[in-house]
């Protein structure tokens, strides 16, 4: 009895209200697993769709509420999670991107002409797959996997414990491996994408875990700051310990390898074009936008408290990775003939642009870097969701006019603007934003990250980024030229009737992209740190 009383006296106090946004999304995913066991398919689809949407909306509301009532940095869950203005804003951006992606997934998860296979477990060309397509059977596992992944992303952004960071990485990644392999068309390519993503992700996770082990050996703690009871963490060890710098450097290098893999930085980008091309387009959009928000949130979180103490050793590696990422993403994007692979290499180049701003973290703690990266991932995420949502509904046709699968070949987009001017105009807006053309969110995003890079003494990197932006504009304008100034061919792309929700998401993303370019001041003011 005495032991029980002592245990109760030292029981940790958990701020459940601070963890509520994460718990809502995770709880919806768990409930979705139970709903998936129901025998009535129609009821299963409706309930899981409602659960997913309601969870994302409620979680976004709770995050906004926490942000409005925010007073000071705090540790949640016995020091396992960190709550700051930056982590709350990153979670809000993530939930906005996830909500847009969820709408596209819901609209494209239909048995008639959807993006997803009826059952992920069915082998390509199997009798089970043929029968499921014949009877128009459709499971809803993607409605469960997506909230699980979003919950992992939210935890990844705010994790203040290295072991929690690793668990969040796996919770975020494992559903993506499965969803990448659920493409309805080109099934072998989709399964190849899921397998490649899983295999290379496993290697990245191994590096990540070994980095955690090295940092634990160096500091004797798994906490970045503190466990909430006064015990020091890794950041304090970096300031006080000497003689084991090599262990800390190796640990952080391995940690960065895992994070660079998730964002697709060179040389850890090999999975990006194959996975982006093979995965269902709604999942590709979610993966391209959501993962970058989560990974850069975590990277900024770690860098703020640790990178500044090791910058004198890691800055050379960062310069090499930034230059290589921009160069490879730009060059490889030029030679692509598949629009999804082109957008994949475009995303690689964008990672290099964002990393330029991260160099300024070494100069101060929470500064303009936070708002710069936040604005960039917001504008990039919205445009990316819109672009891949449009790709998911654009179909190519044969000489007889028969509608086939996704029109990923650039040649199929010839004359698309003449048949669907509104959707083609939206795609043009997204491409102009990627290129950094004024009056779009992408222009403001590049401006603010390049400004932070100049402050950090990275004028050379900014110059490289500007030259790369000019080159990348070539393959963006090439698509625009094909849509509006090229006669359609025999296999010209078209958009079948239906998919109303997806079309609305595309138009809303285009409007938001322009709004972020024109009305960027209030948004940047909201994202800016408080003095």
- SS3 of 385, please? helix
pLDDT in tens, 403-426: 566 777 888 888 888 888 899 999
Which of 349 and 493 is assigned the larger pLDDT? 349
Note the pLDDT of residue 360. 73
Q: How many residues can be counted in the chain?
A: 531
Note the pLDDT of residue 293. 92
In terms of C-beta distances under 8 Å and separation of at least 24 residues, what long-range contacts does 172-176 make, across chains too? 172/291, 172/294, 173/149, 173/201, 173/205, 173/262, 174/148, 175/145, 175/146, 175/148, 175/149, 176/149, 176/283, 176/287, 176/291
Note the pLDDT of residue 404. 64
CB 165 within 8 A of CB 156: yes
What burial class does residue 298 get, using C-beta atoms within 10 Å of its C-beta: 0-12 exposed, 13-18 middle, 19+ buried? buried
* Cα three-residue angle 44-22-28, rounded to 5 degrees: 10
- SS3 of 210, please? helix
* Interhelix angle 368-393/85-108, nearest 10 degrees: 0
Question: Residue 224 and residue 236: Cα distance in Å, rounded?
Answer: 8
Smallest CA-to-CA distance from 530 within 365, 376, 378, 301 is with 365
The CA-atom distances, in angstroms, between 280 and each of 6, 105, 199, 290, 440 are 54, 9, 19, 15, 27
The answer as to whether 345 is a domain residue is yes
Q: If pLDDT is split at 50, 70 and 90, which confidence band does 8 have?
A: very low
Note the pLDDT of residue 231. 59
Question: Residue 351 and residue 330: Cα distance in Å, rounded?
Answer: 11
The answer as to whether 3 is a domain residue is no
How much of the chain, in percent, has pLDDT values that exceed 70?
A: 88
pLDDT in tens, 20-61: 899 999 999 999 888 888 777 778 888 888 999 999 999 999
The answer as to whether 379 is a domain residue is yes
Question: Residue 298 and residue 256: Cα distance in Å, rounded?
Answer: 11
β-strand 395-397 against 403-406: which pairing, if any?
antiparallel
Note the pLDDT of residue 398. 60
Would you give the DSSP letter of residue 185? S
Note the pLDDT of residue 530. 60
The answer as to whether 227 is a domain residue is yes
- Residue 146 belongs to what domain range? 13-527
Q: If pLDDT is split at 50, 70 and 90, which confidence band does 363 have?
A: very low
The answer as to whether 4 is a domain residue is no
pLDDT in tens, 168-224: 999 999 999 988 888 877 778 888 888 889 988 888 899 999 999 988 888 888 888
Question: Residue 212 and residue 396: Cα distance in Å, rounded?
Answer: 48
The answer as to whether 59 is a domain residue is yes
Smallest CA-to-CA distance from 263 within 323, 173, 147, 183 is with 173
CB 20 within 8 A of CB 88: no
Which of 341 and 1 is assigned the larger pLDDT? 341
Beginning with the edge strand found earlier in the chain, give each strand of the sheet holding 493-494 in spatial order: 403-406, 395-397, 493-494
pLDDT in tens, 93-145: 999 999 999 999 888 777 667 777 877 777 777 777 777 777 777 777 888 99
The answer as to whether 48 is a domain residue is yes
CB 343 within 8 A of CB 388: yes
pLDDT in tens, 255-268: 888 888 888 888 88
Beta-bridged to residue 75, according to DSSP, are: 82
β-strand 403-406 against 493-494: which pairing, if any?
unpaired
Q: How many domains does the chain have?
A: 1
β-strand 493-494 against 395-397: which pairing, if any?
antiparallel
**Average pLDDT for 495-518:** 88
Beta-bridged to residue 348, according to DSSP, are: none
Note the pLDDT of residue 365. 47
What burial class does residue 406 get, using C-beta atoms within 10 Å of its C-beta: 0-12 exposed, 13-18 middle, 19+ buried? buried
Token pair listed for 396: 């190519």
CB 347 within 8 A of CB 325: no
Per-residue three-class SS string for 263-323: HCCCCCCCHHHHHHHHCCHHHHHHHHHHHHHHHHHHHHHHHHHHHHHHHHHHHHHHHHHHH
Ordered DSSP codes for 88-130: HHHHHHHHHHHHHHHHHHHHH--TTT-SB-S-TTSPTT-HHHH
What backbone phi and psi angles, to 5 degrees, belong to 99?
Answer: -65, -45
Note the pLDDT of residue 400. 56
The answer as to whether 292 is a domain residue is yes
Tell me, yes or no, if the pTM score tops 0.75.
yes
Is 60 exceeded by the pLDDT of residue 345? Answer: yes
Ramachandran class of 11: left when φ > 0, alpha when ψ lies in -120 to 50, beta otherwise = beta
Note the pLDDT of residue 194. 87
**Average pLDDT for 369-382:** 90
Token pair listed for 422: 């509104």
Note the pLDDT of residue 243. 55
Q: What is the mean pLDDT of the chain?
A: 83
């Amino acid at each position: 009895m005495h032991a029980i009383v002592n245990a109760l006296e030292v029981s940790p106090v958990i701020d459940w209200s601070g963890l509520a946004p994460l718990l809502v999304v995770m709880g919806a995913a768990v409930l979705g697993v139970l709903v998936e066991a129901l025998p009535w398919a129609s009821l299963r689809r409706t309930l899981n769709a409602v659960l997913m949407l309601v969870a994302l909306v409620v979680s976004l509301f709770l995050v906004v509420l926490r942000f409005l009532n925010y007073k000071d940095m705090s540790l949640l869950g016995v020091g396992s999670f960190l709550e700051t203005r930056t982590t709350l804003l990153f979670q809000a951006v993530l939930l906005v991107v996830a909500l847009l992606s969820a709408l596209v997934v819901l609209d494209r998860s239909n048995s008639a002409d959807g993006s997803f296979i009826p059952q992920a477990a069915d082998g390509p060309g199997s009798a089970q797959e043929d029968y499921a397509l014949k009877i128009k059977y459709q499971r809803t596992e993607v409605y469960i996997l997506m909230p699980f992944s979003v919950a992992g992303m939210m935890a990844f952004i705010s994790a203040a414990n290295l072991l929690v960071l690793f668990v969040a990485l796996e919770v975020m990644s494992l559903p993506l491996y499965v969803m990448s392999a659920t493409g309805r068309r080109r099934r072998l390519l989709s399964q190849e994408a899921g397998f490649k993503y899983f295999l290379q992700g496993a290697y990245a996770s191994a590096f990540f875990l070994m980095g955690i082990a090295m940092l634990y050996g160096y500091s004797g703690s798994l906490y970045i700051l503190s466990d909430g009871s006064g015990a020091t963490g890794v950041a304090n060890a970096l300031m006080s310990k000497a003689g084991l710098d090599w262990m800390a450097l190796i640990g952080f290098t391995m940690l960065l390898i895992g994070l660079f893999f998730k964002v697709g930085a060179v040389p850890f980008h090999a999975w990006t074009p194959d996975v982006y091309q093979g995965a269902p387009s709604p999942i590709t959009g979610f993966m391209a936008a959501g993962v970058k928000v989560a990974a850069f949130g975590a990277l900024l979180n770690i860098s703020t408290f640790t990178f500044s103490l090791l910058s004198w050793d890691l800055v050379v590696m960062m310069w090499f990775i930034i230059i290589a990422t921009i160069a490879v993403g730009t060059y490889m994007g030029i030679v692509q003939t598949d629009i999804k692979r082109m957008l994949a290499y475009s995303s690689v180049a964008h990672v290099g642009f964002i990393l330029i701003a991260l160099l300024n973290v070494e100069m101060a703690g929470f500064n303009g870097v936070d708002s710069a990266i936040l604005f960039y991932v917001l504008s990039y995420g919205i445009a990316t969701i819109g672009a891949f949502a449009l790709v998911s509904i654009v179909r190519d046709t044969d000489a007889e006019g028969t509608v086939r699968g996704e029109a990923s070949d650039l040649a199929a987009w010839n004359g698309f603007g003449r048949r669907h001017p509104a959707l083609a105009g939206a795609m043009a807006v997204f491409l102009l934003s990627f290129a950094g053309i004024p009056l779009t969110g992408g222009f403001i995003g590049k401006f603010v990250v390049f400004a932070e890079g100049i402050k950090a003494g990275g004028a050379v990197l900014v110059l490289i980024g500007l030259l790369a932006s000019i080159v990348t504009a070539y393959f963006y304008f090439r698509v625009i030229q094909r849509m509006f100034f090229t006669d359609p061919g025999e296999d010209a792309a078209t958009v079948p009737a239906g998919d109303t929700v997806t079309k609305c998401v595309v138009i809303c993303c285009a409007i938001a992209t322009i709004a972020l370019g024109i009305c960027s001041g209030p948004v940047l003011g909201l994202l800016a740190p408080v003095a």
